[in-house]
A = this chain, B = another copy of it.
């Protein structure tokens, strides 16, 4: 019996370390060449399978695959494409399995978040029904840190470290200028529904009254008056005020903070502004303080240059474990990080049944937020601190990080029809 090949795909928003998981899947599969043939990677994620666009990773050198460990973004391409619910249309799932069958693929490694784990589960179930059983293994990834069962999600730790470091540095900047210049600095961070990243920026504060002084979480409706009062008190006491704000923050009436300002272009077209300019406009209007703001946006999830060593190690470990789970006969599971102790921080990799992960969302515990709603508690800090531990720097050439450049040779198509999305 010839060995089956493997299909690996990256899904959803990319991270600074998702390629470390890709590196681990490919390197580990190469070590199990008695059980796994080649690893094909989906060009632009799951769309690569639907379109039969498979990248043959066996044609990439060991050095190039190794360089994935230190390359941000999704090296094979990712996508925001959610398969339709299986009840509505099985066509997409059937197409996937047809492509897998045509290319002798027996393993499906899906590197993503909640939605992806749901897809992996469905593919696993349907493949069985269609008489072409597949081993479907999830590899966790998301800067949102909202997967269940796993203690934390690879990708989050590096974004968290970037935000904590950047907030600390910018705070030193404004602290030195506040006497005659900017009094308020707002750092806008990602997080539509959960405040994990905003909380992480809070790690910049080590002692009482250290910045950031105010964190605006999406979980807690913002009371405009209490917020302004806190900005005023802080600025009067400290000379300046540093605020971290989640993009998804809302006022108590349910409206997005970002919606409180409107951007109007010269043609009169309107669109929502961001949280940071919205808060700054309010502060300027009500308190008169000079402000600056930064919008980290993609920088926070691609900042491989300041990746957390723990995060890189865990991203690699979950990719490696996924392949090991597959070759030992496990199916419909996701590799997961288990926290064994906080101090010293110890962790291991276990597994989670896909049906325990698919479509569930982990919320930030409410006891991670201080009673005044503007800070993080000791238990939050104890949870977060180990995740930003250690530095794992990329190699540099002429002042810039060296990232992997892949050849991306496509496997010849075997199906005679394109797939219409």
Residues of A near any B CB (own CB < 8 A): 10, 13-14, 16, 44, 47, 71-81, 161, 164-166, 168-170, 172-177, 179-181, 185, 203-204, 206, 260-267, 269, 271, 273-274, 276-278, 281-282, 284-285, 292-299, 301-306, 308, 385, 388-391, 393, 396, 398-401, 403
Closest chain B residue to A308 by CB distance? Answer: B399
A173: min CB distance to chain B, Å: 4
Chain B residues with Cβ below 8 Å from A293 are 295, 297
* B77 and A179 form a contact (CB under 8 A): yes
Chain B residue, CB-CB nearest to A294: B297
Q: Give the number of times this chain occurs in the complex, counting copies.
A: 2
- Do most interface residues of chain A lie in helix, strand or loop, or is the interface mixed? mixed
Complex partner residue of A294 from B168, B170, B298, CB under 8 angstroms: B298
The CA of A305 and the CA of B13, in the complex, are separated in Å by 25
B298 touches A173 (CB 8 A): yes
Say whether, besides A385-B399, A388-B399, A390-B399, A181 and B298 are in contact (CB < 8 Å): no
A153 CB, min distance to chain B CBs, angstroms:
17
**B residues in contact with A271, CB < 8 Å:** 281, 284
Distance between Cα atoms of A385 and B79 in the complex (Å): 34
- Report the bound CA distance from A181 to B299 in whole Å: 17
Of the candidates B10, B14, B277, the one whose C-beta lies within 8 Å of that of A273 is B277
A288–B10 Cα distance when bound, in Å, is: 26
A398 to B309, CA, bound (A): 12
